[in-house]
Structure 1
Amino acid sequence: MEEIVDRRIIRTKQMLRKALMELIEQKGYDGISVSQLTEKAGLNRGTFYLHYRDLQDLLDKCADYMLEGWMNVLKNFNPLEVHNSKYLNEPNPQIVEIYEYFKQNSWFFKVILGPKGDPSFPSRMKRAMRDHLERNRVKLQLKDEDFLVPSDYIHEYVLSVNMGILQHWFETDMSKTPEEVAIISTRLAQLGPLASSGVEKLREPNKPWSHLKG
């Protein structure tokens, strides 16, 4: 019986999260009331207040839930594998898993990062990612003197590039598969923007770029 109740609670929360995102996409967060939300979800107001204080509490907990899921995917990611040259032409499975997570939960991320979403959420994503990068630095036993440039600049570069790729992917309706985006992000990480765009080929015409597929 307890298991049935737990499943009902999980389902109720999922319905409220999805209804919230649909309404934000339609009206923007400021245009939503609890009554509109519960009507959209097919639930009553009493059920809503069993789980959340107000709409902001729902939005915050929804964001926490999604960020926790993202961090769980990143937990086993090996940053050293990003520089494995074989992934210039084939997708890195660990990076594919990350983009699969965003695709499966695009109903949330696409809206929250969109024009009617929560403007503070990208900062929350960056904070979570910054903590993850710092944990990796400790795990790999990298010291400040090991860095060619200050670590905070590296963190900001990684954060900005990956957030930009993710937002562009959503803005283009995820027209590329997670596998294709994994290769794109790997090429940018390994080759940098100049070599990835072919500009370096103009300077070094004999550079063997032909092994990279378009």
Structure 2
Amino acid sequence: MNKKTDLRILRTKQSIRKAFYELIQEKGYEAITIQDIADRAMINRNTFYLHYQNKPDLLDKCMNELLSELKDAVVLCPISMNPFSISILETVMQTLLEHISLNTTFYYAMLIEENRIYQFRAKMENIIKDKLNERWNPAQGQSHLAISKDLLLEYLVSAFMGIVIWWIKNDQPLPADEASSQFSRIVTYGHLKAAGIPVEE
């Protein structure tokens, strides 16, 4: 009996979240009402309030759950003593894209165009930045960069997010592994060399 109850609760929460993501895409977060969510999920308002206090509570729980899953996946990426190597950049990007592909509606709702949720993007950027910064060790000579480390991290995180948003917005135009491979080559070798365009002084 408990197992059946747990499955019903799980299905109800999934229906609520699916309805919520779809409505964010259609109307934007601010315009959504609890009644909108209940109608789309085919539940009554009281059922909604059994699981969530209000709309902000639903948003927070959705974001925290997905970001926790994303962080767990990214943390498992192997990393060498050089956190900016081509293999690390490719592995982290592929992990991001593969996770996004399993939760496309959510990420579209959180990141794309006028309906995006800015705090979600900031938290996602911090997950990427923390991973790239994981093995940074000034004692091993990594402090002697020709450019600012902070600037480098901001550049890389912006590049990651730019590709992620392009990939989602254009309905995953390249497989995750190919997009990740091309991304890492662009970042490592520069856009002209990666594209096979002769570099003129």
Counterpart for residue 78 of structure 1: 78
2:120 & 2:86 partners in 1: Cα distance? 29
Using the TM superposition, give the Cα deviation of residue 198 of structure 1 relative to its aligned residue in structure 2, in angstroms.
Answer: 3.3
State the TM-score, normalized to the length of structure 1: 0.79
2:34 — aligned with what? Answer: 34
Aligned to 2:123: 124
Report the CA distance between 1:143 and its aligned residue: 6.3
> Secondary structure of 1:163's match?
helix
Scaled by the length of structure 2, the TM-score of the pair is 0.84
> In structure 2, what residue type is equivalent to 1:126?
E
- CA distance, structure 1, for counterparts of residue 140 and residue 55 of structure 2: 42
Query: Which stretch of structure 1 is more off in the superposition, 41-50 or 119-128?
Result: 119-128
Size of the alignment, in residue pairs? 196
Match of 1:183 in 2: 181
| CA shift for structure 1 position 159 | 0.6
Give me the whole-angstrom Cα distance separating, in 2, the residues matched to 1:172 and 1:121: 20
Alignment of 1:44-63 (within 5 A): 44-63=44-63
**Cross-structure match for 2:16:** 16
Q: Which amino acid aligns with 1:160?
A: S
Say whether the 8 Å CA contact 2:86–2:185 is kept in structure 1: no
- Of residues 165-174 and 128-137 in structure 1, the stretch that sits farther from structure 2 once superposed is 128-137
RMSD: 2.6
5+ residue gaps, structure 1: 205-214
| Shift of residue 151, structure 1, vs aligned partner | 2.3
Deviation at 1:158, TM superposition (A): 1.3
TM-aligned CA deviation for residue 141 of structure 1: 7.1
Runs ≥4 residues deviating over 6 A: none
What is the identity, as a one-letter code, of the residue corresponding to 1:176? L
SS of 1:145's equivalent? coil
Picking from 149, 162, 165, the partner of 2:163 is: 165
Q: Quick one: distance in 1 between partners of 2:141 and 2:42? A: 54
Aligned residue number for residue 112 of structure 2: 114
Name the aligned partner's letter for residue 4 of structure 1: K
Q: Which secondary structure state, in structure 1, belongs to the residue aligned with residue 112 of structure 2?
A: coil
Shift in Å at residue 118 of structure 1? Answer: 1.4
The CA distance in 2 between the partners of 1:131 and 1:202, in whole Å, is 33
* CA 93–154 in structure 1, closer or farther in 2 if over 3 Å, else same: closer
Q: 1:144-155 alignment to 2 at 5 Å?
A: 145-155=143-153
**Amino acid aligned to 2:86:** H
Conserved? CA contact 1:144–1:150, under 8 Å = no
Residue 26 and residue 198 in structure 1: after superposition, are their counterparts in 2 closer, same or farther (change >3 A)? same
Corresponding letter in the other structure for 1:26: E
Q: Does structure 2 conserve the Cα–Cα contact (< 8 Å) formed by 1:144 and 1:151?
A: no
- Taking the aligned partners of 1:50 and 1:141, their CA distance within structure 2 comes to 53
- Runs of 5+ consecutive residues of structure 2 not aligned to the other structure: none
Q: SS where residue 116 of structure 2 aligns? A: coil
Identity %: 29
Counterpart-to-counterpart distance in 1, 2:14 and 2:139: 40
- The aligned counterpart of 1:209 is none
**How many Å apart are 1:136 and its aligned residue?**
3.7
Going from structure 1 to structure 2, the CA distance change for 1:32 and 1:156 (only over 3 Å counts) comes to: same
